[in-house]
Amino acid sequence: MRTQDLFAAPAPDPITNVDAQRLQNLRAQLHRYAHQYYVLDAPTVPDAEYDRLFRELQAIEVAHPDWVTPDSPTQRVGGKPLAQFATVRHAVPMLSIRTETDTESSGAQAFDTRVRKELELTQADAPVEYVAELKFDGLAMSLRYEQGVLVQAATRGDGEFGEDVTQNIRTIGQIPLKIGASVRRPERPSPSPGEETGFEVPSVLEVRGEVYMRRDDFEALNEKQREKGEKTFVNPRNAAAGAVRQLDPGIAAQRPLSFFAYGLGEVTPAEQGGPAFGTHFALLQALKLWGFPVADQVECAQGAPELIAYHQHIAALRDQLPYDIDGVVYKVNSLALQRQLGFVTREPRWAVAHKYPAPGTTHHGPGHRCTGRAHRQAHPGGAVGAGVCRWHYGVQRYAAQPV
């Protein structure tokens, strides 16, 4: 007669194993569909199918509450209202960048002149390569990922200390709760010798960017406020900031927020397995391929002439953008040159915010004044220079070293 081993491990429950596998598959599917919908603006399944899969995932997690993890799509909206926000110390300070007070195109020339002087370049030397970006009129945010999972979101605050607004930021569909293991660069006919073919997601990754509200979402929100007889918001930036600082994440979830990524904070060092970026542009493309929204208008520009062309080009497009900007930002592309240039007080020498005149304050000499919209229609400026690159990886012009 066969005796039963009372101390043997119980046989695995085949239904539980099936549920666990299905749970993982559902989470992966829903993350992929959310990315396609919110970031790529190219949904591949109807809303009804997404909702059906979401409800199936919810049912599994209700049956197995110990399986719920912070990166599950069901956890975007949740948590009780907070009494107050916790204070977060930024591992890498969220420093502000210098604002160019000359709002005309000559401000771009002034920045390039300063950079070339700091680098001791002569007229015979090649142009400095920059990355030109939009300056969003929103709320700066730092997203911290550990092992690919969003664990914290913090406001800029005073640059050293910010507020933990993780519960509210999780409600923004464009922000991934979990990012994949690695990304690969687009295929190139003849990659440079020794050029990296991909970047692993580091164990620690802090993504810096801007939370904002689109103009159409802002108008729709104010319309709802009017219908309820409640106070309307002054502008999209104030509405976005108010939503982020809501103590109740349920209320924050009702505010239509969006996000753009534009940089990094703390990252696992390259010698410990982190990414070895040589340029700022390569960094931005990695962020995009990891699933973060990056503005389409990011460009590489060679020297002052192309910075000026970019400034004029974006000025002409400003009113057509679906969100507010108040200027553009220029950054030296080579990370090695950024390190060489360093900082002055608490501002990087390698970056500047070049603002546009506020609407209604553009002057054309004594006694003449026109609105920002009329000015941009009358003076559309030029297109971005022919030397601009959109997929510019591994720039070695200045022998940039990996970081």
Whether the CB-CB separation of 207 and 264 falls below 8 Å is answered with yes
The pLDDT of residue 251 is 85
Told to judge if 135 belongs to the known catalytic residues of this protein, a careful annotator would answer: yes
What's the number of CA atoms in the CB half-sphere (13 Å) around residue 320?
9
Indicate the pTM of the whole model.
0.76
Output 175 or 357, whichever has higher pLDDT.
175
Antiparallel, parallel or unpaired: β 204-212 and 325-332: unpaired
Output 380 or 264, whichever has higher pLDDT.
264
CATH number for 14-75: choose from 3.40.1670.10, 2.30.30.40, 3.40.50.2300, 1.10.287.610. Answer: 1.10.287.610
Predicted confidence (pLDDT) at residue 191 exceeds the cutoff of 70: no
Please provide the average confidence, as pLDDT, over all residues in the chain: 81
Residues with Cβ within 8 Å of 19's Cβ and at least 6 positions away in sequence, in order, are 60, 63, 64
Antiparallel, parallel or unpaired: β 99-100 and 351-355: parallel
The pLDDT of residue 403 is 29
Condensed to tens digits (0 to 9), the pLDDT of residues 90-117 reads: 999 998 899 998 999 899 999 999 999 9
Give the model's confidence band at 189: pLDDT under 50 very low, under 70 low, under 90 confident, else very high.
very low
Task: Give the CATH fold of the 99-378 domain.
Answer: D-amino Acid Aminotransferase; Chain A, domain 1 (3.30.470)
Antiparallel, parallel or unpaired: β 299-302 and 362-363: unpaired
The pLDDT of residue 32 is 85
Domain chopping of the chain, boundaries: 14-75, 99-378
DSSP type of residue 135: E
Give the model's confidence band at 62: pLDDT under 50 very low, under 70 low, under 90 confident, else very high.
confident
Whether the CB-CB separation of 371 and 362 falls below 8 Å is answered with yes
Most confident of 83-92, 305-314, 357-366, 377-386: 305-314
Give the model's confidence band at 250: pLDDT under 50 very low, under 70 low, under 90 confident, else very high.
confident
Out of 135, 178, 331, 355, the active site residue is 135
Which single residue is written with the structure tokens 């719920």?
68
Crossing angle (nearest 10°) for helices 215-227 and 236-244: 80
Residues 287, 292, 296: CA angle, nearest 5 degrees: 85
Give the model's confidence band at 130: pLDDT under 50 very low, under 70 low, under 90 confident, else very high.
very high
Region 194-221 average pLDDT: 86
Predicted confidence (pLDDT) at residue 193 exceeds the cutoff of 80: no
